[in-house]
A and B are shown apart, each in its own frame.
Chain A
């Protein structure tokens, strides 16, 4: 496996794992607090819609000329990557609270318990159904977008799809085995890494799509990604110094994210 192929697999796997953690948290909250059968029906319905979207979107993307695809997808990935990186830097520098999947789970469970029960068609509990459906569909769309665009750009859709499937299977299996929010998954760290990778791939493909040529061709990615990571870590260090004295006295996440927190 070449360096860029490995980078593609890792980027898709990590990005999809983050989305899968968020979807699993929502489904677990709906199932735990309300009704597992309705939550399961919501997941199944969302997967059917996702399969239809992927079936329509996949071939359409492969029909677009690679230059135009890289320009549009590179630009979008760069904007997404910078959004993720911005939030990750703010979190690690202490300017924004760390993402807490346990707290999100508890909030979802409380909201689910407070909602009224309502039966519609074959669904015993409409609230569980719609909560699971929306959660899986929205996070699943992001997974599909990442896998299809990364795969199309690197001419390796099967590898990107495999990485996405591995991430979803691993996260779902662990989540439903422990029947608890995946609070030990280092989601903040994953988001930082994914932000770096999306920004790196976005710059690379965006420039290539705009007819620029990187020195070293594909090997440039192996320089771009570490440089983006170092730049982001440098920004974390600079921003951390600018915290007011009261805030700096409080414990904050280390510059290199640990495995304790989750986003």
Chain B
């Protein structure tokens, strides 16, 4: 039973988080920051593109070093 639960959890972790958990973490933080900034008078649309521009090269750099 426990091994089945583990396999179920592993499937969803792999499905949602994938190879690099940092990507999911940065997306979550960027969404929270966008929500926070959108409540001010400052435009908030640029936060997610900035997060992508930072996290994708960083994730690729880590993958290249590991590979």
B18 proximal to A (CB < 8 A): yes
The reply to whether B23 and A82 form a contact with Cβ atoms under 8 Å apart is yes
The interface bits of chain B over 9-39 (1 if a CB of A lies within 8 angstroms of the residue's CB, else 0) are 0000000111110011001101110110111
The reply to whether A235 and B49 form a contact with Cβ atoms under 8 Å apart is no
Query: B44 is contacted by which of A211, A227, A239 (Cβ under 8 Å)?
Result: A211
A-B CB contact pairs (8 Å), 21 listed: A75-B28, A78-B48, A79-B27, A80-B18, A82-B52, A82-B55, A82-B56, A86-B63, A89-B60, A95-B67, A96-B67, A203-B48, A203-B52, A207-B34, A207-B47, A210-B34, A212-B45, A213-B43, A213-B45, A224-B49, A228-B52
Tier of interface size on chain A: 35 or more
CA distance A82 to B22 in the complex (A): 11
Most buried by A among B43, B53, B64, B67: B64
The reply to whether A235 and B45 form a contact with Cβ atoms under 8 Å apart is no
Tell me the nearest residue of chain B to A211, going by C-beta: B38
The reply to whether A86 and B45 form a contact with Cβ atoms under 8 Å apart is no
The reply to whether A78 and B27 form a contact with Cβ atoms under 8 Å apart is yes
- A230 smallest CB distance to B (angstroms): 12
Tell me the nearest residue of chain B to A220, going by C-beta: B45
Question: What residues of B have a CB within 8 angstroms of the CB of A199 in the complex?
Answer: 52
The reply to whether A210 and B56 form a contact with Cβ atoms under 8 Å apart is no
Interface residues of A in 198-214 (CB under 8 A from B): 199, 203, 206-207, 209-214
CA distance A83 to B15 in the complex (A): 10
Question: What residues of A have a CB within 8 angstroms of the CB of B23 in the complex?
Answer: 79, 82-83, 86
Question: What residues of A have a CB within 8 angstroms of the CB of B43 in the complex?
Answer: 212-213
The reply to whether A83 and B53 form a contact with Cβ atoms under 8 Å apart is no
- B54 smallest CB distance to A (angstroms): 11
Inter-chain residue pair count (beta carbon < 8 A): 100
Question: What residues of A have a CB within 8 angstroms of the CB of B30 in the complex?
Answer: 206
The reply to whether A210 and B44 form a contact with Cβ atoms under 8 Å apart is yes
The reply to whether A86 and B20 form a contact with Cβ atoms under 8 Å apart is yes
The reply to whether B31 and A95 form a contact with Cβ atoms under 8 Å apart is no
Question: What residues of A have a CB within 8 angstroms of the CB of B17 in the complex?
Answer: 79
Interface residues of A in 86-128 (CB under 8 A from B): 86-87, 89-90, 95-96
Question: What residues of B have a CB within 8 angstroms of the CB of A165 in the complex?
Answer: none
A242 proximal to B (CB < 8 A): yes
The reply to whether A75 and B56 form a contact with Cβ atoms under 8 Å apart is no
The reply to whether B34 and A212 form a contact with Cβ atoms under 8 Å apart is yes
The reply to whether B16 and A95 form a contact with Cβ atoms under 8 Å apart is no
Question: What residues of B have a CB within 8 angstroms of the CB of A96 in the complex?
Answer: 63, 67
A85 proximal to B (CB < 8 A): yes
Instruction: Please list the 10 inter-chain residue pairs (A to B) with the smallest Cβ-Cβ separation, ordered nearest first.
Output: A212-B44, A211-B38, A83-B18, A210-B34, A210-B35, A212-B45, A203-B48, A212-B38, A79-B24, A214-B45
